[in-house]
């Protein structure tokens, strides 16, 4: 007998999980099935992320999405009984003189948008981060020249920002959904979607790798960095496909330096885009490699940490020379090459195909809001909680209305 679902979600990451959870909480009564190609749920970008969340952005839509999501993470334990390691320990961005002027100008915009920020002078930055030197007096001139670093002119601190465990959150979305709505929810692992079956501008269902066809009223595409390739395999023409490519980003787990109080630090962004936060007894350190080419590459390059990251950490925080690498990994960003923002909502030519992809490195922190927005779009026809999300629909590429985000790590 032909299997039928009202909704199929492709992708068992935090975005697919949040959409499933929100639809059910919002009263969806139809049959809903999730298809995940791996053996485990939340085992791709969700598990490989740094787990950071922040509401400091240059675009209103990202501020709204993350503000909504932070509130949801905060209440998660009370709502579900499951801990997701939510820690509002703050984000501290440090800036050189020229960028600092721009940040000072931006402060009013954040205030008007209800985002809590604090501007710190270099002395306050040093007080907040034990061991950090805002000046350059401790360094030889040739090191300063070689690294091209400048004095820190100021720090931007966001007290509402922090870190959490995205895997725990994603798994909780799936488990709670299955537990509470077992009669209408089906979660399939080791189930790779070969193509989405589209006929006369309408999705009919999906075809699995084992050639099984499963019918669906709507298909939600939450396949992260794999989304564009799946659409191509499904016959979506190039000009109607999404501008999303997989791009490797690396994270390194290193020893924490022997500096008292370092374990209490917020997420810190220092010179050359190097960022880190305490993770249990260690530090989790990252930096986007500017010349990284698109592709399904997961290799951890140890030398990249030694040459391009640790040098900056040592220069800014003496003591970091003790931080040896313990572990590390590469994972994929689903990078929207047009404006570095998510692509949400209906495909203009295939309205029952719904996108939730292209998060460009900020998907876990937007997941609760995205789940809510997609649920509202499906159940009520429009984005009620965060109307600004309409600006992230696919049509923006055709209309030339890009939503350019400049604060991307």
The two three-digit tokens of residue 109, written as one number:
């915009």
Q: Which of 32-40, 213-221, 344-352, 379-387 is the region at the interface with ligand FAD (rule: CB under 6 A)?
A: 32-40
| DSSP letter (8 states) at residue 393 | B
The least distance separating ligand FAD from the CB of residue 214, rounded to whole angstroms, comes to: 12
Select the span of 144-152, 236-244, 361-369, 396-404 touching ligand FAD (CB under 6 A): 361-369
Query: Nearest distance from residue 192's CB to ligand FAD, in Å?
Result: 4
Cβ-based nearer residue to ligand FAD, 106 or 329: 329
Asked if 405 touches ligand FAD (CB under 6 A), the answer is no
- Of 139 and 163, which CB lies nearer to ligand FAD in the complex structure? 163
Shortest Å distance, C-beta 320 to ligand FAD: 20
Q: Residue 18 in 3-state DSSP?
A: helix
Does 249 contact ligand FAD by CB under 6 A? yes
Q: Phi, psi (5° rounding) for residue 184?
A: -120, -5
d(CA 203, CA 220): 10
- Closest CB to ligand FAD among residues 129, 343: 343
Applying CB under 6 A, the span of 14-22, 119-127, 301-309, 385-393 interacting with ligand FAD comes to 14-22
- Binding residue for ligand FAD (CB under 6 A) from 23, 36, 61, 376? 36
- 58-88 b/e with 16+ CB inside 10 Å = b? bbbbbbbbbbbbbebbeebeeebeeebbbbb
Instruction: Give CA angle at 361 (359, 367), nearest 5°.
Output: 55
Contact letters for ligand FAD, residues 65-104 (x by CB under 6 A)? ----------------------------------------
State which residue, 69 or 100, has the beta carbon closest to ligand FAD.
Answer: 69
Q: Residue 361, interface with ligand FAD (CB under 6 A)?
A: yes
Per CB under 6 A, 285 contacts ligand FAD: no
Residue 251, interface with ligand FAD (CB under 6 A)?
A: yes
Task: Please select the residue that binds ligand FAD; options are 14, 283, 285, 323, rule is CB under 6 A.
Answer: 14
d(CA 58, CA 402): 13
Element (H, E) at 315: helix 311-316
Q: What counts of helices (H) and strands (E) characterise the chain? A: 13, 18
Q: Does 323 bind ligand FAD (CB under 6 A)?
A: no
Based on the shown chain and the rule CB under 6 A, indicate whether residue 21 belongs to the binding site for ligand FAD: no
Residue choice 8, 13, 284, 383 for contact with ligand FAD (CB under 6 A):
13
> Judging by beta carbons within 10 Å of its beta carbon (0-12, 13-18, 19+), is residue 178 exposed, middle or buried?
middle
52 binds ligand FAD (CB under 6 A): yes
Among the listed residues 256, 59, 271, 36, the one whose alpha carbon sits nearest the alpha carbon of residue 152: 271
What span, in angstroms and rounded, lies between the C-alpha atoms of 104 and 83? 37
Q: Which of 15, 70, 161, 245 binds ligand FAD (CB under 6 A)?
A: 15
Going residue by residue from 172 to 211, which x/- string records binding to ligand FAD, judged by CB under 6 A? Answer: --------------------xx------------------
Does the protein bind ligand FAD through residue 222 (CB under 6 A)?
yes
- For the segment 111-170, give every residue that binds ligand FAD (CB under 6 A): none
CB distance 206 to 8 below 8 Å: yes
Asked whether 69 and 366 are in contact (CB, 8 A), the reply is yes
CA atoms within 13 Å, Cβ hemisphere of 283: 28
Q: How far apart, in whole angstroms, are the C-alpha atoms of residue 84 and residue 82?
A: 6
CB of residue 161 to ligand FAD, shortest distance in Å: 10
Please state, in angstroms and as integers, the Cα–Cα distance from residue 191 to each residue in 33, 174, 180, following that order: 11, 16, 23
Pick the closest to residue 242 from 397, 387, 401 (CA basis).
Answer: 397
For residue 13, what is the DSSP state?
Answer: S
User: What is the pattern of x (binds ligand FAD, CB under 6 A) and - over residues 325-344?
Assistant: ------xxx-----------
Applying CB under 6 A, which residues contact ligand FAD?
A: 10-16, 35-38, 43-46, 48-52, 192-193, 222-224, 226, 230, 249, 251, 331-333, 357, 359, 361-365
């Amino acid at each position: 007998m032909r299997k039928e679902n009202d909704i199929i979600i492709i992708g068992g990451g935090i975005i697919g999980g949040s959409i499933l959870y929100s639809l059910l909480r919002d009263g969806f009564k139809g049959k809903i099935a999730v298809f995940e190609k791996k053996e485990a749920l939340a085992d791709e970008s969700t598990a490989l992320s740094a787990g950071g969340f922040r509401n400091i952005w240059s675009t209103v839509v990202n501020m709204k999405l993350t503000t909504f999501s932070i509130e949801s993470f905060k209440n998660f334990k009370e709502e579900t009984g499951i801990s997701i390691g939510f820690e509002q320990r703050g984000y501290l961005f440090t800036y050189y003189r020229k960028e600092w002027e721009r940040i000072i100008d931006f402060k009013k915009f954040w205030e008007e948008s209800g985002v809590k920020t604090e501007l710190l002078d270099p002395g306050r930055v040093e007080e907040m981060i034990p061991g950090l030197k805002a000046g350059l007096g401790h360094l030889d001139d040739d090191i300063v020249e070689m690294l091209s670093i400048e004095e820190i002119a100021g720090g931007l601190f966001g007290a509402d920002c922090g870190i959490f465990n995205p895997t725990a959150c994603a798994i909780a979305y799936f488990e709670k959904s299955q537990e509470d709505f077992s009669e209408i929810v089906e979660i399939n692992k080791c189930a790779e979607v070969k193509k989405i079956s589209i006929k006369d501008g309408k999705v009919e269902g999906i075809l699995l790798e084992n050639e099984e066809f499963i019918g669906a009223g709507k298909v939600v595409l939450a396949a992260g960095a794999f989304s564009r390739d799946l659409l191509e395999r499904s016959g979506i023409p190039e000009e109607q496909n999404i501008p999303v490519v997989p791009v490797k980003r690396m994270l390194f787990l290193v020893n924490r330096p022997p500096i008292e109080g370092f374990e209490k630090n917020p997420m810190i962004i220092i010179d050359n885009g190097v960022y880190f936060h305490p993770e249990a007894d260690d530090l989790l350190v990252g930096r986007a490699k500017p010349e990284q080419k698109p592709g399904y590459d997961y290799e951890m390059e140890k030398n990249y940490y030694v040459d391009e990251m640790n040098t900056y950490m040592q220069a800014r925080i003496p003591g970091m020379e003790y931080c040896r690498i313990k572990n590390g990994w590469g994972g994929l960003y689903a990078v929207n090459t047009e404006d570095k923002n998510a692509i949400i909502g209906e495909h203009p030519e295939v309205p029952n195909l719904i996108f939730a992809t292209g998060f460009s490195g900020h998907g876990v922190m937007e997941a609760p809001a995205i789940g809510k927005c997609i649920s509202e779009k499906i159940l009520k026809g429009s984005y009620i909680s965060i109307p600004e999300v309409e600006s992230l629909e696919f049509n923006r590429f055709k209309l030339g209305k890009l939503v350019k985000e400049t604060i991307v790590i």
